[in-house]
Amino acid sequence: MKKRKVTALVMALVLGSVAFSGCGKKETESKYKIYYVNEEQGEVLAEGFVPSEETTQTMLEEMTEKLNKKNAEGHTLLPENIEIQSCVDDDGMIRVDFNQEYHDLNPVDEVLLRASIVKDYVQIPNIYLVTITAEGTPIVDSQGQEIGAMSLDSFLENTGKEIMAYQYKELNLYFTNEEGNQLVPEARQVYYNGNTPIEKVIVEQLLRGPGESGHYATLPSDTRIVGVSVADGIAYVNLGKQFVDEALPVDAQIPIYSIVNSLIDAGNVSQVQISINGDTSLLFKDKVDMNQLFQVNHELEKGGED
């Protein structure tokens, strides 16, 4: 199962550049770690993990066993009364089933636990996705939406107590087809820090690229986000020169309206200005005048009309 086939799941929360707390120098140097929730401190901690063999099945079994027990300092690696009942590898996706008590977790601990479990298991060779159930029932988010498969990309950076500031939103992101001449929508669920404008989150998600088969990237993945701001219904997106210098081989309008349609679909803005290091006086791919306020273009959407 390839990572590019991750379906439209991507929420946003704790896994990127998270400042997880370690448990000693030796464990900090370990190749693998066990991430777990410290309920008293409301954060995710980490300790070293050394498997007897670096094989998928061995690591799966030993990691699950370790998660169900206490560590050397007496910390419970899973919240009180929570245990993993089964953990099965399904062609690159781990299916983790917790006991019924999982449903009793408060929202903060639940999201932290979910993030730590994903972070744990995707370290295992050939494992890319994690799904979680409780007594065989799929778990749901705070909006009552069923949570599907999760990957590292399902979570944006965060530290423990900041999870309180996280918000949920379902986005429609616009990528392109194989020919690079149409926009194709991709639903994506994100949890994001409420201190971050959703418009910036959208641009970040576009840079991460699509998760569905048949969808293709519209923006160079290493494009620097100089800044994203909103005023009077207009989103101002300031990107680095990579957007121009490393532009992908797609029609000139596709990268522009990938951003524009995605931002306007979120509902906070009706127009978008895109600049390169603050400069709008250029023709993108010698075709698109950047010195304008862009509005939604449904004609570029597959099967769409303006």
Question: What integer pLDDT is reported at residue 83 of this predicted model?
Answer: 94
**Between β-strands 225-231 and 32-38, what pairing exists: parallel, antiparallel or unpaired?**
unpaired
Give the pLDDT score at 42.
58
Confidence of residue 157 (pLDDT cuts 50, 70, 90): very low
Q: Helix, strand or coil for residue 164?
A: helix
3-state DSSP: the chain helix, strand, coil percent, rounded to 5? 25, 30, 45
Alpha-carbon Rg for the chain in angstroms = 21
Of residues 167 and 155, more confidence is placed in 167
Which residue did the predictor score with more confidence, 45 or 7? 45
Contact 122, 152 (CB under 8 A): yes
Alpha-carbon distance of 142 to 38, in angstroms, equals 21
At residue 214 the predicted structure's pLDDT band, cuts being 50, 70 and 90, is very high
Please check the confidence at residue 185 and state whether its pLDDT lies above 50: yes
Query: Which pLDDT value is given to residue 74?
Result: 65
For the chain, the average pLDDT equals: 83
Q: Encoding tokens for residue 114?
A: 């979910």
44 falls in which pLDDT band (50, 70, 90)?
Answer: confident
Res. 245 pLDDT band, cuts 50 70 90? very high
Q: Is the pLDDT of residue 30 over 90?
A: no
pLDDT number for residue 80: 85
Specify the higher pLDDT residue, 299 or 230: 299
Average pLDDT over residues 86-113: 89
User: Is the pTM here over 0.85, yes or no?
Assistant: no
Mean local confidence (pLDDT), 104-119 = 83
Give 108's pLDDT tier (boundaries 50, 70, 90).
low
What's the gap between Cα 10 and its chain centre? 4
pLDDT at position 147: 86
More confident: 241 or 163: 241
- CA dist., res. 123 & res. 51, Å (int): 12
136 pLDDT above the threshold of 70:
yes
Mean pLDDT across the stretch 248-276?
97
| pLDDT value at 71 more than 70 | no
Local structure of 41: helix, strand or coil: coil
DSSP state of 232: T
Side-chain half-sphere CA neighbours of 122 within 13 A:
22
